[in-house]
Amino acid sequence: MFHKRLYLMATLVIVWLFLVGLLAGCETIGGDSNGSTFPSNTNNSEGRERREPSHTTEASPILELPEIKLPTAPGTAVEKNDQAVIDFSNIQDGYIMAKYLESTDMNIRLLLTMPNGVQYTYSLIPGRDFEAFPLSGGDGAYEVGIFKQAEGTRYSMVLSATLDIVLINEFAPFLRPNQFVNFNQYSDAVRIAAELTQGLATDAFVDRVEAIYNFVISNIEYDVELAETVQTGYIPDIDEVLRRGKGICFDYAALMAAMLRSQGIPTKLVIGYTGELYHAWISVYSEESGWMDNIIFFDGHDWQLMDPTVGANVSSANLMDYIGDGTNYTAKFFY
């Protein structure tokens, strides 16, 4: 056990240092291996109009908001002590819940190791209620640990658990809210998605995704100032992004993922590289095509590639030249 703790402490430090630059990479998103960047089009200079969702009137059908399956922590299966709690009551639904109980000024991290050995590092805010973390590695054995900062980049283990998980299906982790894709039935993002898709058949996949995609790329501008000042541990607030009309790549991806998930469309928030730079985009599942695991973009006829940050900020004439066949993108983490 002693050696295992040393190993987990070491890997936590390594993973966390690896992720320090995650969001800052969005500042120059689009750079290739030679350091070039794509042309900026943040003013929508090619004539893209800002799109607003329709609003219900006395003559319009009453808007029905979808029922959101929120993550819960019922306490039927937990690992806990006087410092932290890990609730794994609903692991078959693709998530765990965790919270840190004590008051402290030190950083708290949750390390989730997938069945394939890939490690995901999250921040836990002391005193905050339970937060959900997706089991995005599919079926298998997971290790979860909560760590408290001891000094600098050194952390000590507070609580750990090993879980053997069989999901109800492969989509479970990508339909519910979690810490990075955080929404509920009363979120503005959910209401707008419902308005945008009102009247569309539930099997009209292309129409529903197109409506949400076009809204996001037409209404959210790239926030250069935030990209230059964003701090490690930044978590998107999708309704705040909508209110401000600005965001970085993480915000674009989280917002679109939330809107699509609220419509029952399995959607992964993907973090990885574009060239040598960190970036965030989405992957969407359709019954006809399966997981569109690179990036998808609607060219007016077919879904080929989608990156809402790029779609909002690059002229269509240069978009496909930058994206190419998708090999410029390397996925690392799925949320």
Which of the listed ranges 185-189, 203-207, 277-281, 313-317 does the model predict with the highest average pLDDT?
185-189
What are the backbone dihedrals phi and psi of residue 329, each rounded to the nearest 5 degrees, phi first? -110, 135
Count CB-CB contacts under 10 A for residue 214: 17
Is 235 within 8 Å of 180 (Cβ atoms)?
yes
pLDDT digits (tens, 9 = 90+) for 217-258: 889 888 889 888 988 889 999 999 999 999 988 998 999 999
In percent, the amount of the chain with pLDDT more than 90 equals: 49
* Confidence (pLDDT) at 17: 36
Q: What is the CA 189 to chain-centroid distance, rounded?
A: 14
- Cα 141–142–144 angle (5° rounding)? 155
Nearest-angstrom CA–CA distance, 245 and 226? 13
The token duo for 169 is: 């299906």
Interval 15-30: pLDDT, tens:
343 343 444 445 433 3
Structure tokens at 2: 């002693």
Query: In the numeric block, which tokens belong to residue 293?
Result: 């695991």
Confidence of residue 31 (pLDDT cuts 50, 70, 90): very low
Strand pairing class (267-274; 154-165): unpaired
pLDDT digits (tens, 9 = 90+) for 104-155: 999 999 999 999 999 999 999 998 999 999 999 999 999 999 999 999 899 9
The answer to whether the Cα torsion of 272, 275, 280, 283 is positive or negative is: negative
> What does the CA dihedral 233, 139, 93, 63 come to, rounded to 10 degrees?
80
pLDDT value for 203: 81
pLDDT value for 124: 95
Tell me, what's the pLDDT at 19? Answer: 40
Which pLDDT band holds residue 307 (cuts at 50, 70, 90)?
low
Return the C-alpha torsion angle 278, 270, 181, 256, nearest 10. 100
Which residue has better confidence, 306 or 195? Answer: 195
For the chain, give the mean pLDDT.
79
Q: Name 86's bridge partners.
A: 79, 98
The pTM of this model reads 0.79
In the three-class reduction of DSSP (H, G, I as helix; E, B as strand; rest coil), residue 278 is classed as strand
**pLDDT given at position 6:** 40
The number of beta carbons lying within 10 Å of the beta carbon of residue 108 is: 23
Residues 308, 216 contacting (CB under 8 angstroms) = yes
Confidence of residue 42 (pLDDT cuts 50, 70, 90): very low
Phi, psi of 190 (to 5 degrees): -70, -45
CA dihedral 279, 261, 120, 232 (to 10 degrees): 50
- CB 33 within 8 Å of CB 276: yes
